[in-house]
Structure formats: C-alpha cells, structure tokens
Amino acid sequence: MRVRWLPSPLMSAFLLATWLLLNQTVALGHVLLGGVLAIALPVVTAGLRPERARVRRPGVIIRLCVTILIDSVKSNIAVGRIILASKARRGNAGFIKVPLDLHDAHGLAALAVILTAVPGTVFSELSEDRKILIVHVLDLTDEATSISTIKDHYEKPLMEIFQ
C-alpha cells in the first residue's frame, strides 16, 4: 500500500492554522512544528478514515447552515423560556424515534452533530440497522411535528448532500 504524503490537504491546512492560532504566534519554530504536525497527523490517522465523504450537492450545505443557524436562534429562545417558566412547563421532555431514510455514515454523523448542537434536542441512540434515530427533545409537545421537523430541516438536505 502506497502512503500519500498529503492525504488530506484541507485538514493539514486547518491543523496548521489551528496550531498557529492556539500558540498566538507565527514564529518560524511554530510554523515548522505546526507544519510537521499538519502533515504527519493526517498520514498517521489515514487508516482511521477508510471511507471518504462524497459531497453530491455542495450548494445545499449553505442552505443547511442557514437553516441550522435560524433553528439554533429559535431553539435558544425557546429553551430560555422553558428554563425561566414555571416548573410545570419543564415536564414536557421526552424521547422520540425518528425513522431514517439517510444511510450515509457521514450524513448520519452530521445529523447527530446537528441535533446535539441545536438547543433543546440531543442525539441519543442510532439503532443497529441504522433505520431509527432516538432523540431527546426538551419540549416535546407534538411528537409528529418534532419528527417532521428533523426530517425536513436536517435529514432531507443531508440526503441531497451525501446520497
């Protein structure tokens, strides 16, 4: 097996930039050490990433990011209201089972991150057959609405991107 010296150029660039930002310097020593790490780490971890992501429609990523941003702001406000509301209002939390049409491993990982990042929802479990996603919802008033929101806002765009 042949080892590529730069298996992931974007990751290498990101690692170097992160190294320099964390050290708050562009001194030659830090640039050299960061460069060595930025090249070596992707080479060493290449075996841990056996499947490469294939982005089918990159333009959808922008639309998905805007949706996530809007949902995140709305969810922050809703969570704030729940926390500041009476104790009776706080008892609506629960788990929902979301049937999945998304099967790409990268898309499923992105969906889990999105659901955990948006306030009020937390990714809990993925069934072994990858067909059911269990999500904890802080304010579960209507299970069907929560499921359709997850499917329409996040799963469909991820399917366009990865499948």
Return the residue matching tokens 């939390």: 93
- Distance from C-alpha of 147 to C-alpha of 96, rounded to nearest angstrom: 7
Residue 111: predicted pLDDT = 94
Write the CATH number of the domain with boundaries 59-162: 3.30.70
Domain boundaries, the chain: 9-48, 59-162
Q: Where are the alpha helices (DSSP H) in the chain?
A: 9-23, 28-44, 59-84, 105-117, 143-150, 156-162
- What CA–CA distance (Å, rounded) separates 12 from 95? 39
Phi/psi for 4 (5° steps) reads: -80, 140
Whole-number Å distance between alpha carbons of 96 and 121: 10
Distance CA 60, CA 66 (A): 10
| Pairwise CA distance, residues 79 & 75, whole Å | 6
Q: Mean pLDDT for each 10-residue chunk of the chain (163 residues)?
A: 71 93 94 94 82 83 94 90 73 88 91 91 89 90 91 95 89
